[in-house]
Structure 1
Amino acid sequence: MRIDHGHCFCGAIAATFTGEPFWVCYDHDDDCRRAIGGPLTIWIGYRPDQVLFDRGHPKTFTKTRGVIRSFCSNCGTSIGYVDAGLSDEVYICIGFMDAPERFPPEAHGYWRMRLPFIKIDDGLARTDTYTRKRDPKLGLPRERE
């Protein structure tokens, strides 16, 4: 069985991930960009029972209705998020992972929202909205504040 590990910059939070992730995707939307402080990110999708925090407890924050983000309260490392529109799914930021090279993305989400200087010619599928089927009642990130 595949086992992966991750930890924050200061090491206060560590986690173990068992099994294959079900989804790995580039994310170009402005909501996530602002939350993680980078031009884009890659989210790794797991089921909640695949994620075990071995050390420390992430702090959580919500600004976008239905989305709860987690991070290290010591160093600020983005850990992941859960979304009420995606039941039974946990997304982990690739920067939290000990071996990020093990998670090649499968697609691009919010392609039209990418920054104009981001040039990626990888042949992956590109969508202008979510890459996962979400509860439409929650709307797009911009509509959910």
Structure 2
Amino acid sequence: MSDQSRIEPGSCFCGKIALEARGEPFWINYDHDDDCRKAIGSPLTVWIGYRLDQIVFTRGTPRTFSKTPDVTRTFCQDCGSSISYSDEGLLDECWLTIGFMDHPERFEPQVHAFWSMKLPWMQFADNLPRVDRYSRERDLKIGFPDQRR
């Protein structure tokens, strides 16, 4: 169990689903991946990584969807707000979308993932690392989502 002194609330657009993320996130990254872009409906997202035991739903139950084997996305079935992403190749990790968090200004990204898929008209003035794939180590036995379609 991680230190849970920091508590960050998150909620969907209609308010039917809410959670608390307890403790520090272990990783925060910009994601330029085309799959996530399509699922989120945005040119990119910022994913906030927490361990599963750090997330407690305080209201409602999200709906799940999976297009790719071993990948699960959650969202509010009423308003459509994207909530999370989990992947069997990233065990015990739950990735919350920054738009779901009530105080997104508290989560500063550490890296750009899938930089090779960045839309050409997006410009960034930061000096963060830019990687062409995942910015986290994966379980290679599971493989990558684009290999499981």
Q: Is residue 19 from structure 1 mapped to residue 23 from structure 2 by the alignment?
A: yes
- Aligned residue for 2:96, secondary structure, equals strand
1:72 aligned partner: 76
The corresponding residue for 1:53 is 57
* C-alpha deviation, 1:121, in angstroms: 1.8
Q: Is 1:124 aligned with 2:128?
A: yes
Indicate the percent of aligned positions where both proteins have the same amino acid.
58
Q: 1:94 aligned to 83, 93, 98, which one?
A: 98
Aligned residue-pair number: 145
Q: Which runs of 5+ in 1 are unaligned?
A: none
Q: Deviations over 1:61-85 (max 9, x none)?
A: 0001211000000000000011000
Q: Does structure 1 residue 113 correspond to structure 2 residue 122?
A: no
CA distance in 2, matches of 1:65, 1:144: 6
Amino acid in the other structure paired with 1:4: E
Task: Tell me if the contact between 1:31 and 1:141 (Cα under 8 Å) persists in the aligned partners.
Answer: no
Runs (4+) of structure 1 exceeding 3 A deviation are 137-141
**Deviation, structure 1 residue 31:** 0.8
- Superposition RMSD on alpha carbons, in Å? 0.9
TM-score, normalization by structure 2: 0.94
Q: Show structure 2 runs of 5+ residues with no match.
A: none
1:30 aligns with 2:37: no
TM (norm. structure 1) is: 0.97
